[in-house]
């Protein structure tokens, strides 16, 4: 009888006693801002931060966002003669999620052709980085940056074609 009571008490105690608080690995519904380790990794181990030569014909530059909004991304791609993206660099003024989104974007475009890069969707970026709903706009801006860089590259190729046609 006493043993049963003690058992019940112990169970009640363990139910009440909070486990050692550990930060959950993923919080999608909670409003708390959690720096997911994937996001932090892009800042602590940066890859592809930098600039390419803006004036080069093979480089496309996309600059999206606005300082007044707290988000500016510059994404540059270098494309070879076969239309494959061989290098990509980025610089971002924005929160951790924005930095990670643009960093991931440069990783993903490398090795893709210009057409393939157009298929990169913001939802894929958000899923890979486990972005909470309030940070989805960061991934959208990264997608915009890719598209802007590709558009700039295409624009640079146009006069060449026009010149070829003329001659």
Partner 1 sequence: MLLRTASRRVASAVLVTPVPRAKAPTRGLRLRVVDHASQSAVPPDAVTAPEAESVLRPLYMDVQATTPLDPRVLDAMLPYLVNYYGNPHSRTHAYGWESEAAMERARQQVASLIGADPREIIFTSGATESNNIAIKELEAAIRPDTSLVSVMTVNNEIGVKQPIAEIGRICSSKKVYFHTDAAQAVGKIPLDVNDMKIDLMSISGHKIYGPKGVGAIYIRRRPRVRVEALQSGGGQERGMRSGTVPTPLVVGLGAACEVAQQEMEYDHRRISKLAERLIQKIMQSLPDVVMNGDPEHHYPGCINLSFAYVEGESLLMALKDVALSSGSACTSASLEPSYVLRAIGTDEDLAHSSIRFGIGRFTTEEEVDYTVEKCIHHVKRLREMSPLWEMVQDGIDLKSIKWTQH
Rounded distance between C-alpha atoms, residue 139 and residue 24, angstroms: 23
Residues 6+ apart with CB under 8 A from 134: 31
Among positions 60, 65, 142, 150, the unique one binding partner 1 when judged by CB under 8 A: 65
Asked if 17 is part of the footprint of partner 1 (rule: CB under 8 A), the reply reads yes
Q: Which of 60, 78, 92, 132 binds partner 1 (CB under 8 A)?
A: 92
3-class DSSP state for residue 1? coil
Shortest spacing between CB 67 and partner 1, in angstroms: 4
The rounded distance, in Å, linking the Cα atoms of 104 and 126 is: 10
For position 23 contacting partner 1 by CB under 8 A, the verdict is: yes
Q: Does 96 bind partner 1 (CB under 8 A)?
A: yes
Q: DSSP letters of 11-70?
A: HHHHHHSPPPP---S--SSS-S----HHHHHHHHS--SBS---TTSTTEEEEEEEEGGGT
Which CB sits closer to partner 1, 39 or 114?
39
CB of 4 to partner 1, least distance (A): 12
Are 35 and 95 contacting, i.e. CB atoms less than 8 angstroms apart?
no
The catalytically annotated residue of 6, 9, 40, 69 is: 69
Q: Is 4 in the site for partner 1 (CB under 8 A)?
A: no
Cα–Cα distance list, 57 to 33, 52, 73, 86, 160 (Å): 42, 11, 21, 14, 10
CB of 162 to partner 1, least distance (A): 26
Pick from 118, 130, 136, 140 the residue near partner 1 by CB under 8 A. Answer: 140
- Decide if residue 41 touches partner 1 (CB under 8 A): no
Give whichever of 60 and 96 is closer to partner 1, judged by the CB atom. Answer: 96
Any catalytic annotation for residue 138? Answer: yes
Q: Would you please indicate which residues are annotated as catalytic (active-site) residues?
A: 69, 138
């Amino acid at each position: 009888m006493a043993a049963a009571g003690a058992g019940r008490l112990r169970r009640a105690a363990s139910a009440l006693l909070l486990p050692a608080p550990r930060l959950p690995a993923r919080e999608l519904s909670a409003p708390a801002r959690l720096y997911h380790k994937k996001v932090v990794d892009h800042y602590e181990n940066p890859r592809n931060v930098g600039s390419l030569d803006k004036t080069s014909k093979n480089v496309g530059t996309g600059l999206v966002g606005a300082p007044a909004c707290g988000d500016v991304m510059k994404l540059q791609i270098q494309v070879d003669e076969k239309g494959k993206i061989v290098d990509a660099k980025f610089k971002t003024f924005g929160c951790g999620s924005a930095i990670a989104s643009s960093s991931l974007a440069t990783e993903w475009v490398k090795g893709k052709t210009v057409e393939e890069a157009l298929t990169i969707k913001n939802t894929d970026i958000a899923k890979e980085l486990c972005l909470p709903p309030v940070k989805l706009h960061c991934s959208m801006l990264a997608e915009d940056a890719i598209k802007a860089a590709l558009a700039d590259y295409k624009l640079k190729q146009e006069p060449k074609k026009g010149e070829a046609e003329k001659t």
